[in-house]
Copies of this chain bind each other. A is one copy, B any other.
Amino acid sequence: MLMGKVVGHIVSTRKNEKLVGSKILEVRLIENAEETDKFLIALDSVGAGIGERVLLTTGSGARLALDNQSTPTDAVIVGIVD
């Protein structure tokens, strides 16, 4: 899994129907407690907000965090870091 900071909401009016209703967030990755120049776009399973430090699961494991596991995504926020 990866650590990151939520930096924005992504608005997409024209999107795949299986993504309708999903909150889409931009996350800046953190390594060794420092913000990097790498970014990922992720769905949310824990109610994360802008500025919070989060854990991300990528790949097929990400979908296991969602109610609808056929959502076409590859990254989901699975925790807020205390």
Does B47 contact A37, Cβ atoms closer than 8 Å?
no
Q: How far is the CB of A80 from chain B (nearest CB, A)?
A: 4
Does B82 contact A78, Cβ atoms closer than 8 Å?
no
Does A57 contact B74, Cβ atoms closer than 8 Å?
yes
| Interface majority SS (helix, strand, loop, mixed), chain A | mixed
A contact residues, total (Cβ < 8 Å) = 48
Given the known interface contacts A1-B41, A1-B74, the answer about A19 and B61 at a Cβ–Cβ threshold of 8 Å is no
Q: How far is the CB of A74 from chain B (nearest CB, A)?
A: 4
Chain A interface residues (CB < 8 Å from chain B): 1-3, 10-16, 18-19, 24, 26, 28, 31-32, 37-42, 45-47, 55, 57-65, 70-76, 78-82
